[in-house]
Structure 1
Amino acid sequence: MACSENMFFLIGLFMSGVLACFGQRDLIASMPDRLDVLTGSCVQIPCSFDIPDKHKDTFNSAILLSGVWIKEFPYLGERPDSVIFNSTEMVNRYQGKITGNMSQKNCTTVFFNVTTNYTDIYFFRIESQPFLAIDFGKHVYIVVSDLPSSPILTVSGEVKEGTPVSLNCSAVAPCPEHPPELTWTLPTQFTTENQLQENPDQTKSVLSTVTFTPSYLHHEKNITCTAVYPVGTSNKRAEHNMTLNVSFSPKDTSASISPDDPVFVGSCVNLTCSSTANPPVTNFTWFKISEGKTTQVASGQSYTLNVTVGDGGLYYCQARNSHGCGMSNEVQLAIKGHEEPVNPKVFEIVGKTLGLIFLFSLIVFFAWRRRTSRLPSGFDMTDRSQGLVGMNSPVGTVCSNQATVGRGNQ
């Protein structure tokens, strides 16, 4: 019996599709193809309908309209028990209500406290004597789950260092009276904006937009958008994780030399350049500083040379990708048994130091000359000393000076 009913149902759907193709539909209903719902929550079915021209004289919107929802099997003559809701009935198999204005052809309906056995396809029918019609060619598939579906996470444009970027997270809201709350987890400060929006099929969803300015330190860091659905006295959660892909110019560029000790002429020396970048570095360039001049000497991440006398000096590398370049530190290639070129900066520092010392010496010298030029001669000092006898001057000093003068006059 079940097999024959399923066969009849499939044939009926096929015939309804054929009738729809040939414009024989008695009612034109519009509703989503599918709705995903949480157990214990409610579900809102966006619904509207129109009357074909051939029935517009029969249909009277002023007469009380009944909205009827039919589960699985739309042919009431075969399965009258498939009716699960009638808006004019006080008691129905499914608890719900039509929230739309039927006189304006809005049949939006809400069902409450859904359970997993609500999962099925549903057709809509209107009853307004003498007009009765059902749209066999259109139905909504309701899927009831214990866990919510994960929110959808999208990025608007390229995530580039230093450029503000927006991330969007959206979660379906099958029960608009209790929409989900969206929260973010990011490795940096951010601002958010949340709103309940209507989708093209008239279903509802919550959209959360977060704006932040990425750094190269955020590359390959995880971000999370979490949707929390209120269901009764508890909450149900779902989340979406994504790894940030931040584009940035070369960072932490460094040069190394092996061996790093002074080497003999004829030795093999390897210089290596390393850098972090996204996209990866596409070009490495090596430069040498010798006698105050900078010269490009090689390309490539590694630079190997057999040392000659003229190879001594300072080396550094440059790393480049599509977003810019980064310069490394300088490394010294020293050669044993040969005088190494001195960094021009050393001459500059030594010259400035010697200049300061010379200037300081001149200042000290002229200060000393100026002080000594103000002192009287030895003879004048002796005479002044003799004239100071009896003026309470230290006797020893005066006597010493007199004795010296006396010996000189004998």
Structure 2
Amino acid sequence: MACPENMLFLIGLFMSGVLVCFGERDLITTMPDRLDVLTGSCVQIPCSFDISHQNKYTFNSTILTSGVWIKGNPYFGGRPDRVIFNSSEMVNRYQGKITGNMSQKNCTTVFFNVTTSYSDKYYFRIESQPFRATDTEKSVNIVVSDLPSSPILTVLGEVKEGTPVSLNCSAVAPCPEHPPELTWTLPTQFTTENQLQENPDQTKSVLSTVTFTPSYLHHEKNITCTAVYPVGTSNKTAEHNMMLNVSFSPKDTSASISPDDPVSVGSCVNLTCSSTANPPVTNFTWFKISEGKTTQVASGQSYTLNVTVDGGQYYCEGRNTHGCEKSNEVQLVIKGQEDSKTSGVGFWFLVSGVAAGTLGAILLISLISLFVWRRNSRLHDGLERTDSPQGQNSPVGTVCTNQATAGEEPEEPADDQPEEIHYGDIDFSKLQTKETPDAAQDRVQGQESEYAEVNVTGSRAQVPHLNYLDGLYAQVN
């Protein structure tokens, strides 16, 4: 009788041999687990195979090898109808072809005009002399539907205001001969790049990359990627919507005061700060402006204060991880002080008016002084021309006369003072005098004299040949 230790060893060796025998596959295929297909389109099954180590000597790649697809169950001995395609046959249940090179162990296959009845699991088998085998452990699940599956949207990095960002949209291409076309709908300008790419499981998909620079105005706006699949003479579409989550610093920061009317000393007012930001504002700070100085007075979105004798201006500042923004300024007005402010405004208007009036008066005085100066200059020039020697032409309308008032006796000059001559202007056209015979004779001869120099302080005997001025002399004096 064998000892128990030997029995256990024999049992273990036997079980190991069984496991090795049943665990190793003769044919090892590689294909996707699932394929989503559109009704009326085609489907490409990426496929490759390998031969187990113990059967390599029986497989000859130089010999023509047939590829067989079995539907539903790999065991078709009693169900030959499960064989839907055999590359060695001219007529098959499914219209298709093996596009891969079987001698290089590539079993990629395309089926055309797919219908909903194609939805099932499929196994692959190879037949060559002398090797034949089916991979019963691996299958591909084909799912046929009337509508395409939605594309997949992914964001590359953080969507931050002012920083360019890229979005990817990927749509499966089960029929690479007719891949889908991808289009974008964005609330801003963008650039796109499309390409057909191979996935890790060897399936195909179309990848579209869009690049744009987001703004805070794009936050919570929808973007759409649409896939358009050509199927026969029509198109089938699928889309994916996504809401943008844009990070940005505080915007539209504003401060409000309640009540906003003038308030009494000792009452309470409430200041409120509001701001839009993503992420939300984490810190609100209040500042007061008084007499030209800015002072931080409180923190928090709301600020309640007891009114003192002084008012002032207040503003808030909102801050998050991306920055900060200052609000508008609100005025706290104390009852009774608004009149003083109005008076102050009136005072400044009064000061401005006085200044303007003073400036106007100075300008007017300057103009008058200029006018008087120019007039005196003309008068001085006239007097100088009047004092010219006899025989020279005298200015029209200029005459020497006494400046004493009519009816008053002229003062006698002092003996020790030189005799003073006074000049004046007389318009003889306004004097109604009687023309003397001598004057008439002079007028006839063209020697009419309209002006004369008269020494009003001397006697008439000192003015010869002017007897016709006797009447005028009386009027002058």
Q: Could you state the TM-score of these two structures normalised by the residue count of structure 2? A: 0.72
1:126 maps to 126
2:334 maps to 335
2:59 maps to 59
Deviations along 1:15-43, whole A, 9 cap, x unmatched? Answer: xxx97996421011000000000011000
Deviations along 1:130-176, whole A, 9 cap, x unmatched? Answer: 11011111110000011111100111111111000111100000000
**What does 1:287-366 correspond to in 2, within 5 Å?**
287-310=287-310, 312-338=311-337
Deviations along 1:61-116, whole A, 9 cap, x unmatched? Answer: 11111000000111122322210000010000000000001111100000000111
Alignment check: 8 A CA contact 2:397 2:426 kept = no
Letter matched to residue 214 of structure 2:
P
Letter matched to residue 153 of structure 2:
L
* Distance (Å, rounded) in 2 between the aligned partners of 1:367 and 1:110: 107
Alignment check: 8 A CA contact 1:166 1:210 kept = yes
* Distance (Å, rounded) in 1 between the aligned partners of 2:427 and 2:22: 148
Alpha carbons of 1:129 and 1:357: their partners in 2 closer, same or farther (altered >3 Å)? farther
* Distance (Å, rounded) in 1 between the aligned partners of 2:378 and 2:318: 76
Q: Match of 1:35, SS?
A: strand
Matching of residue 389 in structure 1 with residue 399 in structure 2: no
Alpha carbons of 1:56 and 1:21: their partners in 2 closer, same or farther (altered >3 Å)? closer
Letter matched to residue 388 of structure 1:
P
Moved over 3 A (4+): 18-23, 338-342, 356-379, 384-387, 400-407
* Distance (Å, rounded) in 1 between the aligned partners of 2:357 and 2:105: 101
* Distance (Å, rounded) in 2 between the aligned partners of 1:21 and 1:263: 97
Matching of residue 50 in structure 1 with residue 50 in structure 2: yes
* Distance (Å, rounded) in 1 between the aligned partners of 2:304 and 2:58: 93
Q: Give how far 1:258 is off.
A: 1.2
Alignment check: 8 A CA contact 2:65 2:126 kept = yes
The one of the two structures with greater contact order (alpha-carbon pairs below 8 A, sep at least 6) is: 1
Q: Match of 1:57, SS?
A: helix
Alpha carbons of 1:21 and 1:167: their partners in 2 closer, same or farther (altered >3 Å)? farther
**What does 1:110-259 correspond to in 2, within 5 Å?**
110-259=110-259
Alignment check: 8 A CA contact 2:382 2:395 kept = no
Alignment check: 8 A CA contact 2:284 2:319 kept = yes
Letter matched to residue 228 of structure 1:
V
* Distance (Å, rounded) in 1 between the aligned partners of 2:321 and 2:105: 57
User: After the TM superposition, which of the residue ranges 24-33 and 73-82 deviates more from structure 2?
Assistant: 73-82
Letter matched to residue 395 of structure 2:
L
* Distance (Å, rounded) in 2 between the aligned partners of 1:89 and 1:362: 120
**What does 1:254-293 correspond to in 2, within 5 Å?**
254-293=254-293
Deviations along 1:199-233, whole A, 9 cap, x unmatched? Answer: 00000000011110000111111111111111111
* Distance (Å, rounded) in 2 between the aligned partners of 1:19 and 1:383: 149
Alpha carbons of 1:26 and 1:376: their partners in 2 closer, same or farther (altered >3 Å)? same
Letter matched to residue 314 of structure 2:
Y
Structure 1 unaligned segments of length 5 or more: list them: 1-17, 392-399
- Structure with more of its chain in strand, by fraction: 1
* Distance (Å, rounded) in 1 between the aligned partners of 2:322 and 2:358: 50
**What does 1:9-28 correspond to in 2, within 5 Å?**
23-28=23-28
1:10 maps to none
Q: Give how far 1:252 is off.
A: 0.6
Q: Match of 1:56, SS?
A: helix
2:69 maps to 69
Deviations along 1:274-319, whole A, 9 cap, x unmatched? Answer: 1111111111111000011000011111111121113x01111101
Which of the pair has more CA radius of gyration? 2
Letter matched to residue 333 of structure 2:
A
Q: CA RMSD in A?
A: 3.3
Q: Match of 1:380, SS?
A: helix
* Distance (Å, rounded) in 1 between the aligned partners of 2:328 and 2:242: 35
Alpha carbons of 1:133 and 1:304: their partners in 2 closer, same or farther (altered >3 Å)? same
